[in-house]
């Protein structure tokens, strides 16, 4: 490899890591534009394996708009933070694979890390396929599996369940 090839490899690896960071930022800040910027239009997000381990039912979701709508609706209102680690990146032309971890901490809205607050702390493994889109990389297919969890993972769906019950009560 010559120096320009090494520079391109370093740039691509940075941009691929940035894809994971844009994804996490979008979730943490309830920012649909940041989240969408990390996904291809036809992206598939598969949380079924993690969901089964956590006792939650999540079907795989296809399409950027659907993924953004579901994730922002579910996690956006929560007090949430994500931390990325152990990224392994392989690049082949305009495609890449990423294997890494995203630790997420979730509290009900306004609860934050108060003593005795209900929370969910999850360490999830991400196995993803990415594609180059101009100077940016985007997730094409993401499979999420849970490595471990503490607290109550039901928080992830509690707010949605609460909204459904409230809507039924209004009828």
pLDDT at 112: 81
- For the chain, what is the domain count? 1
The helix (run of H) or strand (run of E) holding residue 124 is strand 119-133
CB 72 within 8 A of CB 166: no
Write out the residue range of the structural domain in which residue 117 sits.
Answer: 3-170
CA distance 115 to 24: 25
pLDDT at 38: 98
Name all contacts of 63-68 with Cβ < 8 Å and 24+ positions apart: 64/36, 64/39, 64/40, 65/36, 67/35, 67/39, 67/43, 68/26, 68/32, 68/35, 68/36, 68/39
CATH number of the domain to which 56 belongs: 3.10.450.50
At 1, list the tokens: 């490899």
Q: CA triplet 149, 155, 161: central angle to 5 degrees?
A: 145
Least confident of 20-34, 118-132, 148-162: 148-162
* Whole-prediction pTM: 0.89
Contacts for 166 with CB less than 8 Å, ≥ 6 apart:
none
Contacts for 75 with CB less than 8 Å, ≥ 6 apart:
27, 30, 106, 156
Share of the chain above pLDDT 90, in %: 74
pLDDT tens digits, 105-150: 999 888 887 777 889 999 999 999 999 999 899 999 999 999 999 9
pLDDT at 18: 97
């Amino acid at each position: 490899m010559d120096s320009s090839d090494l520079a391109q490899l370093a740039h691509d690896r940075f941009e691929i890591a940035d894809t994971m960071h844009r994804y996490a930022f979008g979730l943490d800040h309830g920012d649909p534009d940041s989240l969408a910027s990390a996904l291809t239009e036809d992206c598939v997000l598969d949380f079924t394996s993690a969901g089964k381990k956590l006792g939650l039912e999540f079907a795989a979701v296809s399409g950027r708009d659907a993924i953004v709508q579901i994730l922002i609706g579910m996690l956006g209102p929560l007090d949430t933070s994500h931390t990325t680690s152990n990224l392994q990146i392989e690049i082949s032309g305009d495609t890449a694979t990423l294997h890494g971890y995203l630790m997420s901490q979730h509290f009900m809205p306004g609860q934050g890390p108060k003593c005795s607050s209900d929370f969910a702390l999850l360490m999830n493994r991400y196995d993803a396929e990415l594609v180059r889109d101009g100077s940016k990389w985007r997730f094409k297919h993401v499979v999420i599996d849970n490595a471990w969890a503490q607290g109550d993972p039901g928080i992830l769906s509690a707010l949605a369940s609460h909204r459904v019950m409230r809507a039924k009560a209004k009828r």
